[in-house]
Amino acid sequence: MDLIGLLVTVIIAGLIFWVLWYIVRMLPLPEPFRTVAMVVLGLIAVVFLLSLLFGGLSLPKFRLG
């Protein structure tokens, strides 16, 4: 993946995760459920970014898909 394509992918993924983060914060959920949802969303974002990083380095151990 070229650098421009990677940059566009990271920007779009960041916007999607930011919108989901905003929605989770605005939902009237009790506090433990909101915290768990935000942690899960954060972990998904980190795994996605790591898969992009390690996929670009051609390390097959961390590739998703």
- Distance from C-alpha of 65 to C-alpha of 33, rounded to nearest angstrom: 29
Q: Which amino acid is at 13?
A: A
- Domain edges within the chain: 3-62
Q: What is the pLDDT of residue 29?
A: 86
Per-residue pLDDT tens for 18-50?
999 999 999 898 989 999 999 999 999 998 888
How would you classify residue 30: left for phi > 0, otherwise alpha for psi between -120 and 50, otherwise beta? beta
Residues 45-63, mean pLDDT to the nearest whole number:
72
Place 56 in a pLDDT band, splitting at 50, 70 and 90.
Answer: low
